Amino acid sequence: MSDADGRVLWRTPGAGGSSSSSSSPPPALLTNEGNLVVRSLNGTVAWQSFDHPTDTFVPGMKVRLSHLTGEGNRIVSWKSPGDPAPGPFSYGLDPGTSLQLLMWNGTRPYWRTPVWKGYAVASMYLSAGTVLYTAIVDTEEEISIAFTLSGGAAPTRVGFVAMPTMKVPDKFSLDTGNRSAGECAARCAANCSCEAYAYANLQSSSAKGELSRCIVWAGELVDAQMIGPRWGGETLYLRVPVADASTSPGIQSSGKASGNAVKIAVPVSAAVLLLTCIFFVWFCRCRDKRRKTESQKTPMPGTRTGTTNTSSEIGEGDHTGDLEFPSIRFADIVAATGNFSKALMIGRGGFGKVYKAKLDGGQVVAVKRLSKDSEQGAEEFKNEATLIAKLQHRNLVRLLGCCTEGAEKLLIYEYLPNKGLDAVLFDSARKAVLDWPTRLGIIKGVARGLLYLHQDSRLTVIHRDLKASNVLLDAEMRPKIADFGMAKIFGDNQVKANTRKVVGTYGYIAPEYSTEGVFSVKSDVYSFGVLLLETVSGIRVSATEGIMEFPSLIIYAWSLWREGKAGKLVDPSMAGSCSQDEALLCIHVGLLCVEDDPSRRPLMSSVVSILENGSVSSLSLPTPVQPAFIEMMGEKSQRSDLENTRNTMAMTVLQGR
C-alpha cells in the first residue's frame, strides 16, 4: 500500500521491492474514494469493492441492475451493530421494473421510492455547504444509480432557492423594520450563519406600523414542511452556493437581489434518495427494538379481530386475503426453482409438486405448486393457507408465504432437509439413522402436535390425513406435521361431524369415518395409532410382507401383543438401541388408539401424558380389544379369504392421496 507520492506504507509479508519503482501498475489499489481496485496484468479492472456494497453507500459507488439477467447489487444491512454478517434488510433497484428503488426485509418489499421520471442528473444542496449530485445511467445492458459530492470549498457567491407553499421552520429570528424583499435577502446573504429567509407583505400594519415581515434562520432548519397555500404555506428561500449566477437558472443572486425570486423545481427523487439513506441507517439501528415491539402488538398471522372461522367456513370462499404472511412474486419463484426444474423437485402428492428453492436473500425454502389437474387443489390451497397461518407450534410445519398470480397458486414453507418420515422409515438403506431415541422423539413430537391441534390452539382442528409422508423431519430429525388441505375446524361445542365425501389414505382412516362418514378428534387418534405402530415396526400399514399370514399390520401387532410377544414387532434395525419397556409401552398405546370403537380410544392429552411419564409396569392401561375384523372372520382365516371380504366392503366416496 502506497501514498500519493509513491512511498510504501505497508506490504504483505514476502513482498519485495518498492511499488514506486515498478513500471507496471499495482495489482491492488485503495483509491481516495475508498474503492479497493484489483487489476489484471494488462491494467484492466478485474474486481473492485464498489461493485459489492455492504451497509454504506459512499460517493462514486453504483447500485446496478442488469437488463439482460435481472440481477444487480444491493446495499445490505449488518446483522447487528457489532456483527458485519448480512442482515435482513437490503436496498437496490426493483428487478421487476427498474424504475424505482426498493427496500426489502428478507424477500418481502418493505419500502419504495417514487417511480423514476427520466431525469439523468439531479442535484441537491446540503447544509454542510456541499451539493449532492445523483446520476442515473440507463443503457441497453444495465441501469445504474450513483451520487457524488461537490468539493465543499467555500463559495465566493451565494444565492437562494425558492421553496413555495412551505410551513416555515421553527426557531426563527424576526428582522424588524419595513424592508423590501431585496433588503431581506441581502440581510441574510450578509450573515454567514443565515441559512434561509422568508418575506411577506402584511395584510395590515403591525403595532409598530410595519407593512412587511422579514424572518431569518441561522443553523439547522427544524420542522419545515411543504403544506400548500390552502394551509397558509409561504415561500421559503434557502441559501445555496452559486458558481455563476448568470448560468444558474432558478437561483436568486445576492449581488442582484430582487423581490421576484425565480422558482425552480428541486428534484424530488434526489431528495428521496438522501432521505432513504438516512432512514436506512436509522432503521438498521432500531430494528431490534421495533421487532420486539411489533411482536407484542401484532396479532398472530391470519387472525381477524372478533371473528373465528368454523368448519363450515373453511374452503368456502377465499380467506387468503385476511392472512398476514408475505406474498411472493411468481417470477421470483420461477427464478428460485430454475423454472420448476425436475432436478429440484423433492416431492409430489394430490395437491401437486414440491420444489426446493433458494430465494434472493439466500434462504432455502420448499415451494408447493398447485397442480392444474387437481380437482381439489383450489379448495386445499385455501384450506391449507388459512389453517397454517392461524396455527403456530414447533411440531407443525411453518408457512413463510404464498403466491397467487392468475392460475398459479403456490405455498412457500420452511425447508426440511430430511423430507417425509416415510422416505427414511421405509428405506432399508436410510432407516438405520432412526435409532430408538430418535423414533421415540418423533412419536412424542407428533403426539404433541396433534394435542395442540385438538386442544391447545385457539381452534379445534381435525387433520384427517395424518400419515408417515405428512410428517416431515428437520435437520435434527424433529417431526413437523404437514399438509392441512384435508383439515377441518370444529366450533367451540362441536364434537363430531358427518360428510358424504370421505378423504384420506386407506389404512390410516378410522372405521367410523370410512363406513359412515363420521369424523372427530378420535379419527386423528386412530391415524396416530397406525403411525405409531409403523414407526416402532418399520412396516407400512399397507405392507403384505413381514406380517406373516395376517391381513394387516394392526391385526399382526394385536396378535403378538395377545401372545406376549409384542417385542417381536420392534424393527430389527434398531434392536441395539431399543428400550424394551418404552417399545412395549408405545405398542400398547398404539393398539389402544386403533380401537374400532371411538369411545374406547384415548384423547391425545392422555396419550402425551402416558408417553411422557409412564411405562407398562407402572401404569394400569386398559387392555386392547380384539379387532372386529378378526372376530367377524375368525382368528384362523386365510389371508386370501380376508382380502376377498375386505374388497366387498362398501366405501363412501373414498379418495386416496
- Residue 20 CA to residue 42 CA, distance in Å, equals 18
Grid look-up 405409531 returns 532
- Residue 541 CA to residue 311 CA, distance in Å, equals 29
Helix residue spans in 66-211 (DSSP H): 181-190
- Residue 430 CA to residue 151 CA, distance in Å, equals 67
Query: Which residues is 127 bridged to in the sheet?
Result: none
The grid coordinates of residue 185 equal 435577502
Catalytic option among 55, 465, 524, 571 = 465
The grid coordinates of residue 647 equal 374388497
421 within 8 A of 473, measured Cβ to Cβ: yes
Show the 3-state SS of 195-237. Answer: EEEEEEECCCCCCCCCCEEEEEEECCCECCEECCHHHCCEEEE
Query: Which residues is 160 bridged to in the sheet?
Result: 239, 252
User: Among 338, 355, 337, which residue's Cα sits nearest to residue 346?
Assistant: 355
State which H helix or E strand residue 539 sits in: none
Q: Is 465 a catalytic residue?
A: yes
Count of CB atoms within 10 A of residue 450's CB? 28
- Per DSSP, the three-state class of 341 is coil
User: Among 404, 444, 487, 479, which residue's Cα sits nearest to residue 604?
Assistant: 444
The grid coordinates of residue 419 equal 423430507
451 within 8 A of 602, measured Cβ to Cβ: no
- Per DSSP, the three-state class of 62 is strand
The grid coordinates of residue 3 equal 501514498
229 within 8 A of 166, measured Cβ to Cβ: no
- Per DSSP, the three-state class of 77 is strand
What's the distance, Cα to Cα, between the start and end of the chain in Å? 67
- Residue 207 CA to residue 209 CA, distance in Å, equals 5
Q: Is 368 one of the annotated binding-site residues? A: yes
CA 432 to chain centre: 35
190 within 8 A of 178, measured Cβ to Cβ: no
* Cβ partners under 8 Å of residue 346, min gap 6: 354, 355, 356, 366, 419
- Per DSSP, the three-state class of 337 is coil
412 within 8 A of 328, measured Cβ to Cβ: yes
CA 141 to chain centre: 31
Binding site: residue ranges?
Answer: 368
Binding site for ATP: residue ranges?
Answer: 368
Active site residues: 465
